[in-house]
């Protein structure tokens, strides 16, 4: 019986480790019947952040939207405002984007979801 425990312990430890690694960042946004869940392996940091987006309408996955992400940084002393559009690619039932947060400071992120000629905007912000 003890042997069995020794055999499975490493498996359990590896599983727990991979789980905690998987969700360094998770953000849920909603607007009307739309919900966007953003996840990333790492919390927001200066540099390239790979974000995975899942979009739902009334709980059902939306896979036919055109998605855009904009990162905006308000003006800082000695620095004009910055606005960057990040390409978003569809990948199966989710969307993926490499969001380059080029410096520390205040970031405002807008997710544009275009479907049937209508565009919904979902926003959130954070400090780096
Ligand atoms: Cu700045």
CA of 71 relative to ligand 1 center, distance in Å: 11
CA of 17 relative to ligand 1 center, distance in Å: 35
CA of 79 relative to ligand 1 center, distance in Å: 6
Of residues 7 and 69, the one with the higher pLDDT is: 69
pLDDT per position as a tens digit, 10-60 = 555 555 555 555 579 999 999 999 999 999 999 999 999 999 999 999 999
Instruction: Inform me whether the pLDDT recorded for 117 exceeds 70.
Output: yes
Q: State the total domains in the chain.
A: 1
72 located within any domain: yes
Q: Whole domain around residue 119: which residue ranges?
A: 24-127
> What are the residues whose beta carbons fall under 8 Å from the beta carbon of 21, sequence distance 6 or more?
41
46 located within any domain: yes
Q: Which residues surround ligand 1, an ion (CB under 5 A)?
A: 73, 76, 79, 105
CA of 30 relative to ligand 1 center, distance in Å: 27
CA of 42 relative to ligand 1 center, distance in Å: 22
1 located within any domain: no
29 located within any domain: yes
9 located within any domain: no
12 located within any domain: no
CA of 124 relative to ligand 1 center, distance in Å: 17
- In the prediction, which pLDDT does 24 show? 94
- In the prediction, which pLDDT does 13 show? 55
Instruction: Inform me whether the pLDDT recorded for 4 exceeds 70.
Output: no
Q: What is the secondary structure of 21-68 as a DSSP string?
A: HH-SEEEEEEETTEEEEEEESS-S-SEEEEEEEEEEETTEEP-S-EEE
14 located within any domain: no
Cα separation, 126 vs 38, whole angstroms: 14
Instruction: Inform me whether the pLDDT recorded for 9 exceeds 80.
Output: no
pLDDT per position as a tens digit, 48-70 = 999 999 999 999 999 999 999 99
Is residue 114 very low, low, confident or very high in pLDDT (cuts 50, 70, 90)?
very high
10 located within any domain: no
CATH code of the domain in which 90 resides: 2.60.40.3340
**Mean pLDDT, the chain, as a whole number?**
89
């Amino acid at each position: 019986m003890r042997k069995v425990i020794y055999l499975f312990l490493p498996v359990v430890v590896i599983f727990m480790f991979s789980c905690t690694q998987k969700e360094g960042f998770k953000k849920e946004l909603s607007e009307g019947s739309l919900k966007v869940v953003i996840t990333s392996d790492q919390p927001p940091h200066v540099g390239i952040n790979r974000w995975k987006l899942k979009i739902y309408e009334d709980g059902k996955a939306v896979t036919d939207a055109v998605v855009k992400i904009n990162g905006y940084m308000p003006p800082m002393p000695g620095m004009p405002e910055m606005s960057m559009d990040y390409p978003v690619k569809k990948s199966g039932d989710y969307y993926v984007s490499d969001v380059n947060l080029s410096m520390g400071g205040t970031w405002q992120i807008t997710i544009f979801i275009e479907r049937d000629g209508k565009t919904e905007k979902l926003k959130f912000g954070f400090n780096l």
